[in-house]
């Protein structure tokens, strides 16, 4: 998962990064609130971890901005020195999902992060997943439409499954690249960007992800891609 961490204490940031990377997450660090808000206008994350006191704003102000302006429901965890009951109440009331008091305990942070991610992004233990006419078999990296198999490469299957699993979310280009192609990939950004677009185009074509079939996979200029069910969008009035 991609996690953004905001804290003006650099040693705290590095400790948090080490803890999160040790349990398999990709971590981006911020020391100023406005820098994070600027990033959220063009990037997507699966979780935010916020300090309360910041040099240019406050944690609650950031959460209120996110809840008012961010279309997708991104989970937020406060990690702060504030330790009074009214602080916890204010933090949760402004829109945060969890609250942890410093000094940070590595094991507790790892457990809270994993629990929060499981709650927001549940992992299915079944051998297949169904979205209407589409049946995915993750163990075999196989997909069927109305019972008929569709031939996909491993990467195409992974991308398609990720899109269906995140239906309705705006996914930034970097988020998709980090998920589908590890950050260790040494190809140039332009090459990786074209690779992503090529795979998106092939998945759209091979699975027929077009409006006439009830789905829309669109590029959002300057940000990334959004995959959505037109039936679900009609129900929610989007």
Q: What are phi and psi of 21, to 5 degrees?
A: -70, -30
pTM, two decimal places = 0.72
At the topology level, CATH places domain 129-236 in Arc Repressor Mutant, subunit A (1.10.10)
Q: What percentage of the chain carries pLDDT values higher than 90? A: 71
**CATH 3.40.50.2300 boundaries in the chain:** 2-120
Q: What is the total residue count of the chain?
A: 238
Q: What CATH code would you report for 2-120?
A: 3.40.50.2300
Task: Give CA–CA dist 120/77, Å, rounded.
Answer: 12
**CATH 1.10.10.10 boundaries in the chain:** 129-236
Residue pLDDT, tens place only, 194-233 = 899 999 999 999 999 999 988 999 999 888 999 999 875 4
> Quick one: tokens of 115?
């629990």
Average pLDDT over residues 126-152: 88
Residue pLDDT, tens place only, 100-115 = 999 999 999 999 999 9
């Amino acid at each position: 998962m991609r996690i953004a961490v905001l804290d003006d204490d650099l040693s705290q940031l590095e400790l948090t990064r080490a803890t999160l990377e040790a349990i398999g997450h990709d971590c981006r660090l911020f020391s100023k609130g406005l820098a994070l808000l600027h990033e959220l206008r063009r990037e997507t994350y699966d979780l935010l971890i916020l300090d309360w006191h910041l040099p240019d704003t406050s944690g609650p102000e950031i959460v209120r901005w996110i809840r008012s302006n961010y279309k997708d429901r991104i989970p937020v965890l406060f990690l702060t020195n504030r330790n009074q009951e009214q602080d916890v109440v204010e933090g949760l009331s402004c829109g945060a999902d969890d609250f942890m008091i410093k000094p940070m305990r590595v094991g507790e942070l790892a457990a809270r992060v994993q629990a929060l991610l499981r709650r927001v992004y549940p992992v299915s233990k079944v051998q297949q997943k169904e979205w209407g006419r589409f049946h995915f078999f993750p163990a075999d990296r196989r997909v069927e439409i109305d019972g008929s198999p569709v031939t996909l490469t491993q990467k195409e299957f992974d991308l398609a499954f990720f899109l269906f699993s995140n239906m309705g979310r705006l996914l930034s280009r970097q988020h998709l690249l980090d998920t589908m192609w590890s950050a260790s990939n040494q190809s140039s950004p332009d090459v990786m960007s074209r690779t992503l677009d090529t795979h998106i185009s092939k998945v759209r074509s091979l699975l027929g992800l077009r409006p006439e079939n009830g789905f829309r996979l669109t590029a959002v200029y300057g940000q990334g891609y959004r995959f959505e069910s037109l039936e679900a969008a009609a129900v929610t009035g989007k």
